[in-house]
Chain A
Amino acid sequence: MTKGASFEDNMKELADIVKQLENKDNTLDDSLYYFEKGVTLTKKCQTILDRAEQKVNVLLDDGNGGKKEEPFTAEEE
């Protein structure tokens, strides 16, 4: 799995940020910080989705009792 925040983490954080920005008790500074972060995260998630190309790997025996990942193409019938 990739290191850093996962897509799920990003989506969760975004939901929190939206809530924070709808909370009218926050200071302007805090809100500006959240807003900037939210916009960046939104763009990041959109980019991930827009650029996503499906990746399918298959686990094969590596000959040493372990497994290795190889790209997989399903055979057409």
Chain B
Amino acid sequence: MMEDKVYMATVTQVNQYIKQVMDKNVVLSNIWIKGELSNCKRHYSGHIYLTLKDDGGVLKAVMFRNSAANLVFEPQDGMRVMARGRISVYEKGGAYQLYIEEMQPDGVGALHVAFEQMKERLEKEGLFDSEYKKPIPTYPQTIGVITASTGAAVRDIIHVLGRRAPYVKVLLYPCLVQGEGAARNICEAISYFNREKCCDVIIAGRGGGSIEDLWAFNEEEVARAIFISDIPIISAVGHETDFTIADFVADMRAPTPSAAAEIAAADASDILRQLSAGRDRMKSGMMYLIKSHRTSIARFRLRNPKDRIDNLRVYLDGLQREIVHAWRVKNREDRNKVALLNSKLHTLNPSNVLARGYCMATDQKGTVVRSAGSLSTGDEVKLMFSDGKKDCEVK
């Protein structure tokens, strides 16, 4: 008779044992699992807790922050995904779970790869460069809208523009925005607006949807059509979290179609405020100018002709006084000079000397005798006195 051996263990021990058994299993250590997401919760720590489910059951899973950071999409309930990781035991909870290392939407994994590859290629080519971005006009007259003629996107755009900017005309180019032929149709719409030059700015977009739904806006031909458009283009594809190639090439990306409508045209009430501010500034500029002209007119009056003539008269009087004074000074100086010369002349006159008792002797030739030695006995000389002459003989 065989007796089965029965083990005795604590909870901790048995959980540890199960963990060891599972961790040794090669299949469970690295496995891709398909399922639908539910109970997705992103913890503030950055870890994502979620449940994978299918018709037959559920599998708890966690994606730690480091792995979650590499996600290119935001996991949402109901999304079909493929997740890769290891299955192990969380001992404290007494439960096994999937520790996810990578995750991608099921079936569109290839699209994702294509998206990333094209994004890299077009970026290298320069299609996303900011130097090619055209400015969005502030006051467009006509906005071209490229989207489906039914659905939320067109309604939102028309509604927002009607409320904020009714002065803008909306011109809708109805367009396929998903499925076969959508990309081609979007390109035709862009080239139509450019050919006809019938709008100032284009909004191209659609409402939210799966990555497949938005795929037309990831097609290369759409990217190139947006790039060569002369009319600025605002992309408005899906929700805030959706990014398409069109968003990167467009002159501006709007998070939603409604936001695109807000970006595309200035709010009429803002413009009205601006207009009245402008009018106030013009008025005060004009008031200033009038005031400063008044002041200069007042200054001009001070210089009227009568004042000028009076001023000139005073000036003339002054000049006259100066001339008379100058003449007088000059006259006095001249007279003084004459008197001086006169007295000098007087001093030098020889008859004045004779009058003081001197006399002057001249020989027979009439030459003045200056020394006694020049005369001999018997010479006749003439002596000149102040009152007359006498002939004399030297003895």
Q: Are A18 and B282 in contact (CB under 8 A)?
A: yes
A2-34 contact mask (Cβ, 8 Å, vs B): 1 or 0 = 100011100100110110011110101001101
Given contacts A8-B138, A45-B275, A56-B172, contact A24 B192 (CB under 8 A): no
Q: Which residues of B contact A75 (CB under 8 A)?
A: 150
Q: Are B271 and A57 in contact (CB under 8 A)?
A: no
Number of interface residues of B (CB under 8 A): 42
Q: How large is the interface on A (under 10, 10 to 19, 20 to 34, 35 or more residues)?
A: 35 or more
- Taken together as a complex, chains A and B put the C-alpha atoms of A61 and B61 apart, in Å, by 53
Q: Are A1 and B281 in contact (CB under 8 A)?
A: no
Q: Are A17 and B282 in contact (CB under 8 A)?
A: yes
- Taken together as a complex, chains A and B put the C-alpha atoms of A39 and B281 apart, in Å, by 11
B323-334 contact mask (Cβ, 8 Å, vs A): 1 or 0 = 000000000000
The contact of A6 among B141, B272, B281, B290, by CB within 8 Å, is B141
The contact of A49 among B137, B167, B200, B281, by CB within 8 Å, is B167
Q: Which residues of A contact B272 (CB under 8 A)?
A: 46, 49
- Taken together as a complex, chains A and B put the C-alpha atoms of A26 and B285 apart, in Å, by 11
A54 at the interface (CB under 8 A from B): yes
User: Which A residues fall within an 8 A CB radius of B?
Assistant: 1-2, 6-8, 11, 14-15, 17-18, 21-24, 26, 28, 31-32, 34-35, 38-39, 42, 45-46, 48-49, 52-60, 67, 69, 72, 74-77
User: Which B residues fall within an 8 A CB radius of A?
Assistant: 137-142, 149-150, 154-155, 158, 161-162, 166-174, 192, 196-198, 200, 268, 271-272, 275, 278-279, 281-282, 285-286, 288-290, 292-293
21 contacts between A and B (CB under 8 A): A1-B141, A1-B200, A6-B139, A8-B140, A8-B200, A14-B278, A21-B281, A32-B286, A42-B275, A42-B282, A48-B167, A49-B167, A49-B275, A52-B167, A53-B166, A54-B158, A54-B161, A54-B170, A67-B196, A75-B150, A77-B155
